[in-house]
Structures are given as C-alpha cells and as structure tokens.
Structure 1
Amino acid sequence: MTSPGAPRDVRRLLTDGALSLVGQIPSASNLTLVCDSTLDDDTARCVYKPVRGEAPLWDFPDGTLAGREVAARLIDAALGWDLIPETVLREQGPPGAELGPGMLQIWIDGPDEPAGPEPVEIFDAAEIPAGYAPILRAHDDDGSVVALAHATDERLHRLAVLDAVLNNADRKGGHILTDRDGRLYGIDHGLTLHTEPKLRTVLWGWAGAPAAAELRADLARLRTRLADDTAFRKTLRESISEAEVDALTARTAALADGRELPTPPDRRAIPWPLF
C-alpha cells in the first residue's frame, strides 16, 4: 500500500495497474466484476464492466455503455465537480476473465455506519425529514402511505444538474454513494449521453428551476471547451458519437444560459427499481 501521506495517482493506477479478480456483483444488470489493481506498492479496489457483458437494450446502441461511462467521467472532470469516481477504459480485464475491453472504475468504500438518512430514502409520508423533497408517494404492503424523497443539499443539486447535462436515463437511489468522509458520488453512467431526451431520475426536486449560479459558471466554461477545444472533443469522440457530443454541447449551453432543469415526462420519469 502507499505510504502514509503519499499522493495517489488513481488514474495511473487504474490505467497501468496489474488487475486481479476478487469477485462478481451478482445483482448488477450487466456483468460487473470486482478487481484489485496494483502498481508499484499501491493497490486499489475497482470495478470492471466488460463490453462483452453488456445486456442488449432497445434504446441504446449495443456495446456502447462502457464508453459512455468513460465519457461521463471526462465531462464531470472538465466541470471540476468530481462527482463520478475515476474511470478509464482498459483493453483487457483481469487474468482468468478474458473478456476484452471494458471500463474500470475506482471502488468507493461507504461508512461503516450511516450517520443519518441516505441521500435518497423511502419515508413514512407523514414523517419526511426537513431538507428532503418528496418525489413519489405510494402505499406500502400494509396500506400505509410512504414517500420516496431525496435530500435538497448542494451536493445533490450538483448531481441533479450533472444528470441533466449527461441526459442520464438511470439515476437510481442506489447509484448515489457517500464515502467514509461523507463525500458524495454518482455511479453507473452507462445509460447516458443519448441524443434524444432520456432523463430518468429520482432527483426531480429541482425540476423546472435553473441551476444555481455558481454551477452555471462551470457549465459556461464547459460550453466553451466543447466549442473550442478540439482535443477535448476528439477525446470524447473516442467514447461517444459526433451527434452525441453535439447534443451534449446543446444541453450544456442551454443550462449555462439559465434554462430550467427538465421536468418529468408523462411516462418513464423514474427508473425501476428505485434502488
């Protein structure tokens, strides 16, 4: 392991480290393997999703989910928000799992004990805590009324704006993590960056309102980079299509100019399952 206080180059560790297979996440909808990546004296836990293990979808082109995860992280890093764990494309997974190219993402360790309600939770509809916005109400098995609600703090607002930029079709509650220091992350960005409106999310609390002013300033810088930085566009084009980069640019420009965040469509507004 890295010596105490030594900086960790997570991207290099993921890109160049030797992979070893730890196990599989059986609940994932696509093949998802847990690995260790070792470089020099440093080892990090990570997640590997091979292109070959992606389930076919009717509304996303086959074999593109890993690239979308990589592109989503590049966009998040360009904004300076660092909401998505470091993610790279590897040409091969760990020995013993010869599955070809796939995305590799650093693992996020959660707290040993939750400090309070999760960022997204189901509450008794009459007992939603202050600072939470109800999104959906339903009847529990015993007939009681429950509500799906999310926190309304700055961290979740930034993630909701990022989802609008990415056109995220799969923001489940279980795709929002907090680490041991309380830092928030979003994971599972394979269903993003489509040219058609696809936003499906449990973070509708800011729908119909513009992004916060400080976030619009970051979006304006991203808009400029998408327009002027040909190297950045070329890098994105390694993962998504030209039309998808153009659609990303249009969404970013609209939000930077103060356009309201999308409102829920008439159907398929919330992903299922919720977590």
Structure 2
Amino acid sequence: MTDVPSLPTAPTLPVIELLTRGELTVRGQVREASNAVLLCSVTHDGEEAACVYKPVAGERPLWDFPDGTLAQREVAAYELSEATGWGLVPPTVLRDGPYGQGMVQLWIEADPSATLLALTEDEEAGEGWKAVGPAQVGEDRTALLVHADSPDLRRLAVLDAVINNGDRKGGHLLPAPDGRLYAIDHGVTFNAEDKLRTLLWGWAGEELPAEATEMLDRLDRSLAPGSPLATRLAQLLTETEVRALRMRVTALRASGRHPEPSGRWPAIPWPPV
C-alpha cells in the first residue's frame, strides 16, 4: 500500500456529513485488494479525516452479483448495522468522487496488538476461544483454527447471517484501539441466494443470545414495507434482495439459533485472511 500521511479519524463534525459533503483527495491505494480501493483524505468546514473510497468503475465483475452494485451493498451493510444498534460497520456513504460514484467509508486504524484469530495444535479450543475447524499448515500437518469468543464477534456473526455475507475473512475484522470491533468489505452481501461464507462458525448451531433475538425482533419491525429502512434499502438493493433479507430475519427468529454451514459449498472463504 502507498504510504500516506497520518490523518485524524475522529472528527467533531458529524461523520456522515463529512463523508458526504467533504472534498476527497486520493492519498494512496490498497494494492492487494481485488477491486480498486483508494485511501483518501476528506475535508469539509475545517475538518479532516481519513477514509476509503471504492469507485464503482474499479469493481471487478462477479458471476453471481450484478455488475456495478458492490458499493451499494457496502452502504446497505452499514444501514443494517446501524439498524441493529450494534454499530459494527464504519460510517459509509454512496457519493461521487474523483473517479465517479463509489462507496466512501471512514478509515479505522486497527489495534495491531489485538488477536481475534489463532491456530492451535490442541484438539479443542481453549478458554476464551471458539473452534472453526482444522486448517492445513504444512504438507502433512494441520492445526485447529479458532476465533475469539467475544460478544462483538458474536454480534458480527449474527449480522453476517442477516446480510448474507459471502466473504467474511480475518482481514475484514478491525479491532480498534478503544476496544470496539469494526468490520469492513461488505461488497458481496445481500444476495437473494444463500451465500454465507465466514470464519465465524464458532457458534454454529448454538442458541442465539437474548440480545440477538431482541435485535431481530426490532429489525423485523424496522424492515416492514414502507418503513424508512425498507425505503432506503430499496434504493440500494433489488426488490428480490430486500424480500430475501426479510425472509432471513424471519428464519433466524424462528430457529433461535446461529446458522450452520449448508454443506453445498465451502463454508470458509478463500483465502481465509
């Protein structure tokens, strides 16, 4: 990634206003990304922050998603995250930029000392960890992949099930220095078909915690046809996708459990990090 100057990430101006109305200046590029990901500064009324800009023009076509829709899905994921009350997705807007319309998201600096994923040679996950499954670490050696057993990660697992996230990798988890967890890269979400692929299978089949069932009840009401949230999502997703979203919420409420891998395709995205 191109080196960029350090920029503040906690402006006093409302963040959505800053991201929406501010002037974008490209500072660098995340070269490892499969789509165009530009690191920018955004300035407005004397405020400045770092942000990520993903122009629609830089999106690589996917066989199972309509072309030019990934930015809208990123914004829809933020809208859903806000509706849950959990605030797991950084502030995200859809707007014009130097290379046309795209997604603009507040940059989150991750805490490098935080560990959410690990490999262990033990047969079971230790205290404070949840087992995902065996991982190949050599030609003839495997290890157990585990993730932290934390409330925020568990909330994210529920959110991913709601938005049908097809690409929850370890690199998409950003533990902030203040202790909050953020999640990024939500372009392959909200497909009408089941696409859930994630590293967060540690709670698969377990009963949902009370806060999750209460959230799903609230979300079900918030997604009623004609509601502000449903109206906003209709601007970002297709009618079929919004209907499938409601059905996923209904199914989760009815089961009362974390979903399990379907077995019809790989449950973990590749590469996993």
Q: Give your verdict on TM over 0.5.
A: yes
1:214 aligns with 2:211: yes
3-state SS in 1 of match to 2:224: helix
> Cα deviation per residue 1:120-172 (whole Å; 9 max; x = unaligned)?
22333458542111212134226443221111111111000000000000000
> Hey, what's the Cα distance between the residues in 1 that align with 2:213 and 2:176?
26
Deviates more, 1:54-63 or 1:228-237: 228-237
Specify the alignment match of 2:159 in structure 1: 162
Specify the alignment match of 1:22 in structure 2: 27
Work out whether residues 170 and 201 of structure 1, in 8 Å CA contact, stay in contact via their aligned partners in 2.
Answer: yes
Deviates more, 1:244-253 or 1:207-216: 207-216
Gaps of 5+ in 2: 1-6
3-state SS in 2 of match to 1:102: strand
**What's the % identity of the aligned pairs?**
48
> Hey, what's the Cα distance between the residues in 2 that align with 1:6 and 1:69?
22
Specify the alignment match of 1:274 in structure 2: 272
Deviates more, 1:252-261 or 1:190-199: 252-261
| Pairwise CA RMSD | 2.2
1:88 aligns with 2:93: yes
3-state SS in 2 of match to 1:227: coil
3-state SS in 2 of match to 1:23: strand
Specify the alignment match of 2:113 in structure 1: 114
TM-score by length of 1: 0.90
State the AA in 2 paired with 1:194: N
How do 1:174-213 and structure 2 match up within 5 A? 174-213=171-210
Specify the alignment match of 1:56 in structure 2: 61
Residues matched between the structures, number: 266
> Hey, what's the Cα distance between the residues in 2 that align with 1:207 and 1:134?
10
> Cα deviation per residue 1:210-238 (whole Å; 9 max; x = unaligned)?
32111111111110111154332121111
> Hey, what's the Cα distance between the residues in 1 that align with 2:142 and 2:251?
38
3-state SS in 1 of match to 2:159: helix
> Cα deviation per residue 1:154-195 (whole Å; 9 max; x = unaligned)?
111100000000000000011111111121011100000011
Residues 71 and 120 of structure 1: CA distance in aligned 2, closer, same or farther (over 3 Å)? same
3-state SS in 2 of match to 1:69: helix
TM-score by length of 2: 0.91
3-state SS in 2 of match to 1:140: strand
